[in-house]
Amino acid sequence: METYDEENVRYEQARRQVERLRGFYGHLFAYIAVNAMIVVYNIKHLEPGESYFQFKNFFTATFWGIGLVAHAIAIYLPNIGFISDWEEKQIRKLMEKKKK
């Protein structure tokens, strides 16, 4: 059976993960909303006969998208294997130091 401290640690870990997820979803929403506005703006300002498919029209989406992917990796990758084990060990070490 888990002790009260272990239960609190797990609760705090879950709460932090939910905060990280909320931050990621906010980032994703902003990415979609801003890039949708950029697409509309770019389409309205095309010259007659000009193709939309130019790098300048995808610049923001491309580089911001790289940042969004990095954010997603930071959110979802720590739940895999050794990273979460390492985090758990560090939390236990800090808890033991505080007890002494």
Q: What is the pLDDT of residues 54-83, one digit of tens each?
A: 988 899 999 999 999 999 988 888 666 566
Q: For residue 27, which phi and psi values (nearest 5 degrees)? A: -60, -45
Q: For residue 97, which phi and psi values (nearest 5 degrees)? A: -65, -40
* Per-residue pLDDT at 1 exceeds 70: no
Q: How far apart are the first and last CA of the chain?
A: 23
* Per-residue pLDDT at 92 exceeds 90: no
* Per-residue pLDDT at 49 exceeds 70: yes
Model pTM? 0.71
Task: Work out the angle between the directed axes of helices 4-44 and 81-99 (0-180°, nearest 10).
Answer: 130
